[in-house]
């Protein structure tokens, strides 16, 4: 099947293909369709404006590359997790921008599929996939970062609906989102994990205020979100009121185990870019030919192989019907720390390039300096390193805390 056919028949293009034939169509579609200006390994790269990102991601959906495993009844493509992995391997192999709606596709969507009502699934899920609705995640608060059980945002009954008051922080992409997946307390603070509920709050509702926060990479991507007497309909409550914490745990397990499944292959793309750029510079060519950097780059390559093994094992487990549970913490801990080590090595190497810098080195420096700064957040978001270690100790090793 040609790429043109794949594109023209859109979602139906690849529905009968599996395995390597499916991979081949995915690869050809991506290579033919991804604008060169979206590629961070190109001199033409410029961070795409929101509208262009939305259009690109909508085209990926129409080509069958998002919502891969979601049921067709809700706009998905009804494919297997193994095919989801294949598509992600190909997505990772290109220096493509991160999704502006990963929260919708990888957190809100899966949790709505798990505990949402039929009406919610039909209302929310297709709009996530075709990019009409961008979502953000309202979990963390000023007084409840890692310790979500301590969150204070309150949801109180308001006739048939709810009224929400409180503040969320570190809410990535709230300024561009239409919906926020809000975790709020319906009982007293002392109840900790009990009495937490989840809501799909429309961000254009009265009483919602969003303020951007500038982060270490100079971007204003995450936000504070304030809720002052925000009225939310019962139809926007996700799951039963006391299911909030269980739903949050499920969301976080999904997030740790499967989100951005393409990471290992993206890291490989980054490693290949680092080496290929280095080979355009006489000083760096000599350095990467030296045993010292061969060993260090080899260590990065080994870590990428191990990360692939973590991902593929998780996919096989899930595809075989296993629950991933706490094991998602192993992969999250592994990728976040190994990517930080790699990013630090990349900027160390590139900083030694000869002068004047050639265009390939300038492109690589721009990309890896951004990656280095963004990677500092990777051991913080989706549960800090310390939280992951605690989960592994508590739930996998089941270490005694007894006195």
Partner 1 sequence: MTMAGEGLQPDEFAATAARAVTACTGLDVRAQAQNLANDGLLGIVANEEVGGLALPLGFAVPVIAAAHSGLLEFPLLETVLVGRLLQSSLPRLAAAVVSGEKLVTIAWQGEAVAEQLGGAMVLSGTVARAPCAAKVDYVLVRMMAGAAALIPTDAEGVVAEEAAGLDLTVPEHVMRLQKVEIPAGSILPVNTWDVLSSDANVLRAAAILGSAEACLALAQEHASTRRQFGHALSYNQAIRHALARQKLGLESIRHAITRSLSEGGGLVQRDAAFLAAATYGSSISEGALQIHGGMGFTWDVPVHRHLRRIRTLQAQGDASGLIGAFGRRYISEVAPFAEAEA
The catalytic residue positions are 255
Adjacent-strand bridge partners of 137: 181
> Min. distance of Cβ 264 from partner 1 in angstroms?
11
For partner 1, the binding residue among 162, 334, 342, 372 (CB under 8 A) is 334
The site map against partner 1 for 370-389 (x = CB under 8 A) is ----------------x-xx
Closer by beta carbon to partner 1, 223 or else 333: 333
> Min. distance of Cβ 318 from partner 1 in angstroms?
14
Identify the three-state secondary structure at position 201: strand
Contact between 221 and 172 under an 8 Å Cβ cutoff? The reply is yes
- Of 156-164, 190-198, 330-338, 346-354, which part binds partner 1 (CB under 8 A)? 330-338
Chain CA centroid to CA 150, Å: 24
Q: What is d(CA 167, CA 130) in angstroms, rounded to the nearest whole number?
A: 29
Contact between 274 and 285 under an 8 Å Cβ cutoff? The reply is no
Which two three-digit tokens encode residue 273?
């870019």
For partner 1, the binding residue among 22, 222, 293, 342 (CB under 8 A) is 293
Does 279 contact partner 1 by CB under 8 A? yes
Q: What is d(CA 223, CA 203) in angstroms, rounded to the nearest whole number?
A: 13
- Of 183-191, 201-209, 244-252, 329-337, which part binds partner 1 (CB under 8 A)? 329-337
Which two three-digit tokens encode residue 66?
């998002």
Reply yes or no: is the peptide bond before residue 33 cis, omega within 30 of 0. no
Does 273 contact partner 1 by CB under 8 A? yes
Which two three-digit tokens encode residue 195?
């009495």
Pairing mode of beta strands 179-185, 135-138: parallel
Q: Judge residue 317's burial from the number of C-beta atoms within 10 Å of its C-beta, 0-12 exposed, 13-18 middle, 19 or more buried.
A: middle
CA-closest candidate to residue 252, choices 179, 185, 328? 328
Contact between 265 and 218 under an 8 Å Cβ cutoff? The reply is no
For partner 1, the binding residue among 127, 249, 301, 319 (CB under 8 A) is 301
For partner 1, the binding residue among 13, 107, 196, 364 (CB under 8 A) is 364
Closer by beta carbon to partner 1, 84 or else 327: 327
For partner 1, the binding residue among 114, 205, 306, 373 (CB under 8 A) is 306
Does 320 contact partner 1 by CB under 8 A? no
For partner 1, the binding residue among 21, 240, 283, 393 (CB under 8 A) is 393
Q: What's the half-sphere exposure (Cβ side, CA atoms, 13 Å) at 313? A: 10
> Min. distance of Cβ 276 from partner 1 in angstroms?
4
Residues touching partner 1, count (CB under 8 A) = 54
For partner 1, the binding residue among 277, 315, 371, 382 (CB under 8 A) is 277
- Of 22-30, 48-56, 265-273, 369-377, which part binds partner 1 (CB under 8 A)? 265-273
3-state helix, strand, coil in the chain (%, to 5): 55, 15, 30
For partner 1, the binding residue among 134, 169, 177, 297 (CB under 8 A) is 297
> Min. distance of Cβ 333 from partner 1 in angstroms?
6
Closer by beta carbon to partner 1, 120 or else 388: 388
- Considering only residues 339-358, where is the footprint of partner 1 by CB under 8 A? none
Cβ atoms within 10 A of the Cβ of 115, count?
18
Residue that has been written with the tokens 């994990």 in this structure: 193
Contact between 158 and 164 under an 8 Å Cβ cutoff? The reply is no
For partner 1, the binding residue among 330, 346, 377, 382 (CB under 8 A) is 330
Q: What's the half-sphere exposure (Cβ side, CA atoms, 13 Å) at 213? A: 13
Contact between 213 and 206 under an 8 Å Cβ cutoff? The reply is no
Residues that bind partner 1 (CB under 8 A): 36, 39, 41-44, 271-273, 275-277, 279-280, 288-289, 291, 293-299, 301-302, 305-306, 308-310, 312-313, 327, 330, 333-334, 360, 363-364, 386, 388-390, 392-394, 396-397, 399-403
């Amino acid at each position: 099947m040609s790429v043109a056919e794949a594109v023209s028949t859109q979602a139906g293009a690849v529905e009968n293909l599996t395995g390597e034939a499916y991979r081949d169509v995915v690869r050809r579609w991506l290579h033919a369709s991804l604008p060169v200006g979206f590629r961070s390994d190109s001199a033409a790269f410029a961070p795409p404006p929101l509208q262009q990102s939305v259009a690109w991601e909508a085209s990926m959906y129409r080509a069958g590359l998002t919502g891969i495993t979601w049921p067709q009844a809700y706009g998905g493509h009804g494919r297997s997790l193994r095919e989801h992995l294949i598509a992600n391997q190909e997505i990772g192999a290109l220096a493509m921008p991160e999704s502006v709606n990963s929260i919708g596709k990888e957190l809100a969507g899966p949790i709505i599929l798990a505990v949402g009502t039929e009406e919610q699934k039909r209302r929310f899920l297709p709009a996530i996939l075709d990019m009409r609705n961008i979502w953000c995640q309202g979990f963390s608060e000023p007084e409840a970062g890692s310790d979500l059980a301590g969150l204070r945002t309150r949801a109180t009954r308001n006739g048939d609906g709810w009224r929400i008051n409180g503040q969320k922080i570190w809410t990535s992409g709230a300024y561009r989102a239409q919906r926020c997946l809000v975790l709020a307390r319906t009982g007293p603070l002392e109840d900790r994990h009990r009495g937490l509920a989840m809501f799909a709050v429309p961000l254009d509702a009265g009483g919602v205020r969003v303020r951007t926060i500038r982060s270490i990479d100079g971007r204003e991507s995450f936000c504070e979100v304030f809720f002052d007497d925000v009225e939310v309909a019962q139809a926007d409550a996700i799951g039963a009121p006391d299911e909030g914490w269980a739903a949050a745990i499920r969301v976080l397990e999904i997030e740790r185990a499967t989100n951005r499944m393409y990471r290992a292959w993206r890291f490989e793309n980054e490693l290949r870019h680092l080496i290929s750029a280095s080979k355009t510079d006489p000083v760096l060519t000599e350095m990467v030919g030296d045993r010292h950097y061969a060993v260090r780059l080899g260590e990065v390559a080994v870590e990428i192989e191990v990360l692939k093994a973590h991902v593929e094992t998780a996919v096989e487990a899930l595809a075989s019907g296993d629950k991933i549970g706490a094991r998602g913490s192993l992969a999250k801990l592994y990728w976040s720390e190994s990517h930080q080590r790699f990013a630090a090595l990349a900027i160390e190497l590139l900083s030694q390039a000869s002068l004047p810098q050639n265009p390939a080195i300038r492109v690589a420096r721009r990309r890896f300096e951004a990656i280095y700064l963004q990677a500092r957040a990777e051991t913080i978001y989706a549960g800090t390193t310390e939280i992951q270690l605690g989960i592994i100790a508590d739930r996998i090793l089941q270490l005694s805390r007894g006195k």
